Amino acid sequence: MTDEARIGLILAAQAIGYAPGAAVLAGLTGGLAFLVIVWDAIAGGVTRVGYLYVLGAGIGPRTSRSTRYGLGLAIHVTLSAVFGLLYAGVLDWVDVSSFGDAAELGLLIGLLHGALGMVVTGWVLPRFHPLVRSGELAKPGRALTGYGRSTPIVWMIAHAVFGLTVGAVYAATAL
C-alpha cells in the first residue's frame, strides 16, 4: 500500500468519525477485563482453561512454560487491539451516538463473538493445536466443557465483559 493510500484511508476514517487510537485503547482495556474474569474463574476453581497458556502453547509447544505464557499474552494483546478496532468499526458503522448505546451494543457483539469463538475454538483445538493433538492438553469437548462444566459460562461472561468494556471505553474516548 502506498503512503498516499494509507493517508487516504486515515482521512476517510476520520471523516466518518472512526477513531483508531481510541479503538485500540478500548480493545486493550477490554482484553485486560477479559483476563481478570478468566484468572478469577481459574483461581476460584470454576474453570481449568489456562487461556494464555493454551494460546502460547499453540505456537510454541516445546518452549518453557513461562515462554508459552509470554507468547499467549502477546497473542492476546494483539487480538484485543484488533478486536477493539473491529468492534469500534461496527459501533461507528451503526452510528452509535451515546455511551449507553455503545456499551449495550458492545455487550451484544461480545456475546456473538463469544458464541462464534466457542464453536471455532472447539473445532480448531483438537485439529490443529499440537499439545491437544498429542494428548498433553485436554480436548475442549462440546462447548469447551473439557476444561470444566462451567467453562462455557466463564467464556461467555469474559467475552460479554470484553464487549461491554470496548463499547464503553470507545464511547468515552471517541464519541
When divided into structural domains, the chain yields a total of 1
DSSP annotation of 146 reads G
Q: Is 6 contained in some domain?
A: no
Q: Is 53 contained in some domain?
A: yes
CA dihedral 25, 67, 57, 165 (to 10 degrees): -20
Kindly report the CA angle at 12 between 106 and 98, in degrees rounded to 5? 30
Percentage of the chain surpassing pLDDT 70? 93
C-alpha cell at 147: 476444561
Q: Is 54 contained in some domain?
A: yes
Q: Is 113 contained in some domain?
A: yes
Look at the chain and count its residues: 175
Q: Is 4 contained in some domain?
A: no
Range of the domain at 96: 19-174
Q: How far is CA 48 from the centre of its chain?
A: 18
Q: Is 1 contained in some domain?
A: no
CA 168/CA 96 separation, integer angstroms = 11
* Amino acid residing at 19: A
Task: Give pLDDT, residue 2.
Answer: 76
Rounded to two decimals, what is the model's pTM?
0.89
CA 18/CA 159 separation, integer angstroms = 23
Q: Is 137 contained in some domain?
A: yes
Q: How confident is the model at residue 13 (pLDDT cuts 50, 70, 90)?
A: very low
Contact (CB, 8 A) for 88 and 171? no
Q: Is 11 contained in some domain?
A: no
